[in-house]
Structure 1
Amino acid sequence: MARFVRWTALAVAGALLTAGCSGGSSDGGDGKGGGGTPSDSSDGSTSALPSSLTEQRPDWGDCKARDDAPAPGDDYRCATLKVPLDWSKPEGATIDLALIRAGARGDDRIGSLLFNFGGPGQSGVSTLPAYASTVSLLHERYDLVSWDPRGVGASEGIRCRDDRRIEAAEAVDSTPDTPAEEEAYLKDAADFGKGCEESAGKLMAHVSTADTARDMDLMRLVLGDDRLHYFGISYGTELGGVYAHLFPENVGRLVLDAVVDPSADAVGHARNQTLGFQRALDDYLESTGQDPRQGSQKIADLLARIDAEPLPTSTDRKLTQALALTGIVLPLYSKSGWPTLTSALAAAEDGDGTALLALADGYNERDASGRYNTTTHSQRVISCLDDKQRPTADEAKGRLAEFEEISPVFGAFLGWDTAGWCHDWPVPGQFDSPEVSAPGAAPILVVGNTGDPATPYEGARRMADELGKGVGVVLTWKGDGHGAYGSGSDCVDSTVNAYVLKGTVPKDGKVCS
């Protein structure tokens, strides 16, 4: 499979560029105590929970090494939390969620600060230790907490096909030019969905963003916090917005960074990303002294040649067009990756696809032994349950000219992806766009970055508008890369820190340059 992880975590993107329990009591200090059962949601699907869930006390113990990460240091403790499989049947079957926590380092503890790093499908248990240094100041007064959302990693993680079949699918043309290629593309998409259904079973219909938001409120209660303090990155911003809509009275200090546009449907998200990645590519090309239009056309011509004849690499694998495009995408997530992109493109122009293949493998989380992580599997299962829209191949083809006008490099791929992503999916989607209105909630800090490739800046203002007047507060950074906090702006970092640590809400529309 060669799909963009549509809202991947900025921490993971940076790392890839440099790499290639029940019973017991809390060990992190007392929270502010109390709380209550998660309140009824606006759609009435959540009811009072049994005491077997609300009175859980996580048994925090040593964290184990995992396939996707080594064991973290002694500061981290891990546990499991039971949640309903089906939130409309809270006394029915349960599933276990994997949690990780590092207790507050200072004496003036505020409570727990939950992190979701995006995807959807990113493992919080694996990512939090790598991200902790970025939020070291927040760690003084908060327990840093994350988890693998339902259907992800150690929380009933879903694997839709094995490594051999994933690698074989690299040969499928993701921008089909002939009826035969189109048939193969759609068949591969349908087969992927069938594999997900075989792996997930009943869970397939219960991994939506709303399901995870309800899990978060139970997590808040079990952790002992009256209010949810939360840091959502990328897709995590959508999750935070949905939480605020379902539980506005439980909103504490919420930071939403690298913001997903909540007003966009599935096609709208693809269109937004086409625009965002092209903007980032333009900025990269300008930084190298190239005219963006001419430089983009040169890359588009290179991709067309690779489509016709995949490039050899230093391995026995070929660099296909989809892999080449994925390799181009990864360095655009962070300005620090631009020199890597320059050398990889130069090598590809000379007929060697090795460097772009290595970047694509990093993005697709393929290790040297040929094993693939399942982030994209979980992502697809979650997003296809969320997204009601199911564009047909004919509808996608009808939009290709529009998408290619936005970007000659990314347009065709993301245009076709609107049809292939959830083609012939085994379960129906739930909404066209998520509901995030949160009247009565405390102010939520919405951080937008003007040069963000994956979640274009416009999404921040739209998120704030939909959260509601007096709730959504926009902080703008005029910078490049996916996400703003911890990316080099003292203005952004100090504003976020003051909000999270002191509750200081900046003026809506504050700009950091």
Structure 2
Amino acid sequence: MLFTGKSISGGGRSALGGRGGKPFLVAGAALLALGVMGQYGPAGEAAAAPGARAGEPYRPAPLAWGACHDLPPGGPAPRSFECAELTVPLDYSKPRGKTMKVALIRLRATDRAHRIGSLVFNFGGPGGSGIDAFAGGSAAQFKKLGTRYDLVSFDPRGVGRSRPVHCAGDKRKDEWLAMDTSPDNASEKAALLSRGRAFVKGCANRSGKSLPHVGTVAAARDLDVMRIALGERKLNYFGFSYGTWLGAEYAHLFPKKVGRTVLDGAVNTELNPLRFFREQAAGFQRALGHFGTWAAQQPQAEPNAKAKGLTKDAVVTRVATLLHSLDTKPIPTDTRRELTQSLGEAGVLTGLYSKAIWPALWQAIQQAESGDGTILLALSDALFQRSPDGHYTNYLDASGSIYCASTPQRYTERDVAKALPAFTKASPVFGPTLAWRSMDCTGWPVKGTPAHHIAAPGAPPIVVIGNTGDPATPYTWAPALAEQLGSGVLLTLNGEGHSSYMTGNPCIQKAVNTYLLHGKPPVNGTKCQ
């Protein structure tokens, strides 16, 4: 999926001592010897489990917090963090059956005397490691909230350190990602469809037993077990991008357990995949135009730009021309890999996620026009979470697996062919690739969760934030989600980039902080510039 949120990050090592996403299970007794022990939750509360008989609720084991290991650089000192593993049912219809571990990380509130409780984060994806995102720099952006909250993040089931799914090795991912994703002829189409079948087969062979259990509904139920294990009567939650879908699903399942909740970079959960990808394509095309307006005003990057008549449309045309040329003539980089059309397109997409990346994107485009694809390839690698040594996290594996477990639609080649004109109209640059993305779940060995309306009757105010310049979760999705929930409070940023709070906009941060710290939501319809 392409609503990655904060998942554009590195990482891939276990916070509990393992490597390559394989958790090292620290003995509870050893952590108890260090004097760290969690709580069951309020008054012996147990999480509801669908399909369980009366008297068979799931009761989480205590959380044993201890030192974290192998965290990515960039955030607070590793010793500031604590890590633990939450035991949850693998299958919530069988609460007394097999279990699995969900890896957690936290920073304890600095003002313990005025502590409110725990604030749980999901930074997006699907497939992004919440531990890597949090420890790698995101935690530093929530210092004010961290005065009165224990800040908690986690790797959702199927991701990173939480029973990760795997579908392919690093070399195979390199090959697949370099392939043409907007086929122009029969042979390219056949290759793309063959790649899709191989990915599905790899997921089934390597992680078949996990695939039925990694969907958004199961992850939302994990949140309620987490709430109880953290000792909270209600879940205080801050979700970004895909994390808004997860948070909305939680509110739908447990409206009476919703605490102070913020959903930033909202996903419209009512859309089928074809419409979802088409609206996302339009969002990236619109963001490319905004980038073009900015680039045309950068004389330092383009000497005598105004004399050359550089305009927004000219910049967009240059990007389209560059990507089209890569279709038949990839260009070299400072690695052994070439920049192909699909990798170049991914690099451009990455650069549109944040206005802070626009200077690097503009430099990358000009460099590629001169025959060097190094920077665009680096941007592409950031999106797909490939490290310089060639190792990928399991983001790609988990992203597809979670999405396909969460949606029931399975499209055919004929469906895509019928939809292609509308996709190309929505985005001449990105439309064809995103149209073919709608077949990602075709042939998936597990049926996705049946489509259902998400609403949260009886829930307290849920702040839903939309950014008018958001490429990945277009702004119109925010008022749609706020209305679906019923108790949604819409907060708008007239800005650029994916999501809003982490742009640093003072108006957005003040509104969110006031709500989370003092319980006063913004007025519905509040706009920030």
Q: TM-score, normalised by structure 2?
A: 0.89
Deviation (angstroms), 1:38: 2.4
Relative distance call for 1:55 and 1:167 in structure 2 (3 A) is closer
Contact 2:287–2:469 (8 Å) recurs in 1: yes
Question: What is the DSSP-based 3-state SS (H/G/I as helix, E as strand, rest coil) of the residue aligned with 1:486?
Answer: helix
* Partner amino acid, structure 2, of 1:124: G
Q: Which residue of 1 aligns with 2:45?
A: 36
Distance apart, 1:318 and its partner CA:
1.1
In structure 2, the partner of 1:424 is: 443
CA gap 1:476/1:103 in 2 versus in 1, 3 angstroms? same
2:475 paired residue number: 457
In structure 2, what is the Cα distance between the partners aligned to 1:308 and 1:79? Answer: 50
1:131 Cα deviation after fit: 1.0
1:122-159, Cα deviation, whole Å (9 max, x unpaired): 11121212211111111111111111111111111112
Aligned equivalents of 1:28, 1:212: Cα separation in 2: 24
State how far apart, in whole Å, the 1-side matches of 2:513 and 2:460 are. 17
Tell me the equivalent position of 2:397: 377
Q: Secondary structure at the match of 2:214?
A: coil
Q: Distance in 2 between matches of 1:498 and 1:292?
A: 38
Contact 2:405 2:448 in 1 (8 A): yes
- State the distance in 1 between where 2:470 and 2:177 align: 27
Question: Hey, what's the Cα distance between the residues in 2 that align with 1:164 and 1:29?
Answer: 41
Aligned partner of 1:115 in structure 2 is 121
CA distance in 2, matches of 1:395, 1:29: 50
CA contact (8 A) 2:214 2:401 kept: yes
Q: For the structure 1 residues 50 and 69, does the alpha-carbon distance in structure 2 shift closer, same or farther, using more than 3 Å as the test?
A: farther
- Closer, same or farther: CA 32–425 of 1 in aligned 2, 3 Å: closer
Q: Residue 439 of structure 1 aligns to a residue in which SS?
A: coil
Deviation at 1:312, TM superposition (A): 1.7
Q: 1:7 aligns with which of 3, 6, 9?
A: 3
1:342 corresponding residue in structure 2? 362
After superposition, the Cα gap between the structure-2 partners of 1:415 and 1:91, relative to the gap in structure 1 and judged at 3 Å, is: same
Q: Deviations over 1:198-226 (max 9, x none)?
A: 22132110111000000110110111000
Q: Contact between 2:492 and 2:525, CA under 8 Å: does it hold in 1?
A: yes
Rate the CA distance shift 1:157–1:67 in 2: closer, same or farther, 3 A.
Answer: farther
- 2:97 is matched with which residue: 92, 98, 103? 92
**Which ranges in structure 2 are unaligned for 5 or more consecutive residues?**
12-25, 297-309
Report the counterpart of residue 442 of structure 1 in structure 2: 460
| Distance in 2 between residues matched to 1:300 and 1:495, nearest whole Å | 39
Change beyond 3 A, Cα 1:71–1:183: farther
Q: Which residue is 1:276 aligned to?
A: 283
Structure 2 residue identity aligned to 1:466: Q
Q: Distance in 1 between matches of 2:150 and 2:232?
A: 11
**1:127 matched to 2:123:** no
Deviation per CA, 1:217-247: give whole Å up to 9, x if none: 0110111000000000000000000000000
**Deviation of residue 48 (structure 1)?**
6.2
Tell me the residue number matched to 1:77: 82
SS in 2 for 1:317: coil
**1:63: which partner in 2?**
68
Aligned ranges for residues 394-433 of structure 1 at < 5 Å?
394-419=414-439, 421-432=440-451
SS in 1 for 2:422: helix
Displacement of 1:12: 3.6
SS of aligned partner of 2:352 = helix
Task: Count residues with an aligned counterpart.
Answer: 496
2:147 is the counterpart of 1:140: yes
Inter-CA distance 291–390: structure 2 relative to 1 (3 Å threshold): farther
Give 1:214-293 correspondences, 5 Å limit: 214-289=221-296, 290-293=310-313
| Superposition deviation, residue 170 in structure 1 | 3.3
The letter of the residue matching 2:107 is: A
Helix, strand or coil for the counterpart of 2:438?
Answer: helix
Question: Does the CA-based 8 Å contact 1:13-1:334 persist in structure 2?
Answer: no
Equivalent residues of 2:492, 2:528 under 8 A apart: yes
SS in 2 for 1:219: helix
Displacement of 1:505: 1.5
Which 5+ residue runs of structure 1 have no aligned equivalent?
16-20
RMSD of the alignment, in Å? 2.3
Query: d(CA) in 2 for partners of 1:456 and 1:47?
Result: 42
1:451-497: per-residue Cα shift (whole Å, max 9, x none)?
111101111100001001xx100000101111111313111101000
2:47/2:59 contact within 8 Å kept:
no
Q: Which amino acid aligns with 1:178?
A: N
Matched residue SS, 2:368 = helix
| Structure 1 residues 59 and 280, CA gap change in structure 2 (3 angstroms) | same
Equivalent in the alignment of 2:16: none
Shift of 1:267: 1.0
Quote how far apart the aligned CAs of 1:431 are. 3.0
CA pair 35-241 structure 1, distance change in 2 beyond 3 A: farther
The 8 Å contact of residues 31 and 111 in structure 1, kept in 2 or not, is answered as no
Residue type of the alignment partner of 2:510:
S
Q: Deviations over 1:155-174 (max 9, x none)?
A: 11112111111112234211
Percent pairwise identity: 42
SS in 2 for 1:54: coil
| Distance in structure 2 (CA, Å) of the matches to 1:31 and 1:97 | 16
The counterpart of 2:164, out of the listed 136, 153, 157, is: 157
**Closer, same or farther in 2 for the Cα pair 1:452/1:465, shift >3 Å?**
same
Q: 1:34 corresponds to which letter in structure 2?
A: A
Residue 340 of structure 2 is aligned to residue 328 of structure 1: no
Q: Does 1:509 align with 2:521?
A: no
Secondary structure of the residue that 1:474 maps to in structure 2?
A: strand
Q: Is the 8 A contact 2:420 2:431 kept in 1?
A: yes
Q: Tell me, in whole angstroms, the C-alpha distance in 2 between the residues paired with 1:249 and 1:145.
A: 21
**How big is the shift at 1:11?**
6.8
Question: What CA distance in whole angstroms lies between the structure 1 residues aligned with 2:124 and 2:173?
Answer: 22
CA distance in 2, matches of 1:48, 1:97: 26
User: Matched residue of 2:144: which SS?
Assistant: helix
**2:106 pairs with 77, 80, 101, which one?**
101
State the Cα distance separating 1:314 from its structure 2 match.
2.1
When the two structures are superposed, what TM-score results if normalisation uses the length of structure 1?
A: 0.92
- Given that 1:170 and 1:320 are in contact with CA atoms closer than 8 Å, whether structure 2 keeps it comes out as no
Secondary structure of 1:453's match?
coil
